[in-house]
């Protein structure tokens, strides 16, 4: 097992296509939705972009495979109601947007 920082690299068992599919989907999402749209200047900007993307991916992005709901909804953000004003939270300078109802 190879360890780099906080990440442990594990070798996939042979003939396990489902394990590899989830990783490939996530890597493709990061590339298409984040990294291919940014100009990065060093490791610091890469780490910031990936941190922001992971936060958006897990907390703010609707997941179609889970009934188009948020996986880990934030408790401080109220749900959109009929008469509430819609607010926008931007990440990475407007590259990723999250819309929610204002209280």
Q: Using one digit for the tens of pLDDT, what is the confidence trace for 7-61?
A: 777 777 777 767 777 778 888 889 988 888 888 899 999 999 999 888 888 777 7
Question: Within a domain: residue 37?
Answer: yes
Domain count, the chain: 1
- Confirm whether 49 is domain-assigned: yes
Domain that holds residue 65: 16-101
Decide if 9 is inside a domain. no
Distances (CA, A) of 20 to 12, 25, 26, 56: 8, 9, 10, 23
Q: Establish if 2 belongs to a structural domain.
A: no
pTM over 0.75: no
Tell me the H-state helices in the chain. 17-33, 42-55
């Amino acid at each position: 097992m190879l360890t780099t920082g906080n990440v442990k690299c594990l070798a996939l068992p042979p003939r396990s296509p489902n394990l590899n599919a989830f990783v490939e989907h996530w890597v493709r999402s990061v590339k298409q939705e984040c990294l291919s749209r940014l100009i990065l200047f060093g490791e610091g900007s890469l780490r910031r972009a990936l941190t922001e993307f992971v936060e958006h991916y897990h907390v703010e992005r609707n997941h179609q495979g889970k009934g188009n709901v948020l996986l880990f909804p934030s408790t401080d953000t109220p749900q959109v109601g009929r008469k509430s004003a819609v607010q926008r939270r931007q990440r990475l300078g407007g590259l990723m947007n999250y819309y929610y109802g204002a209280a």
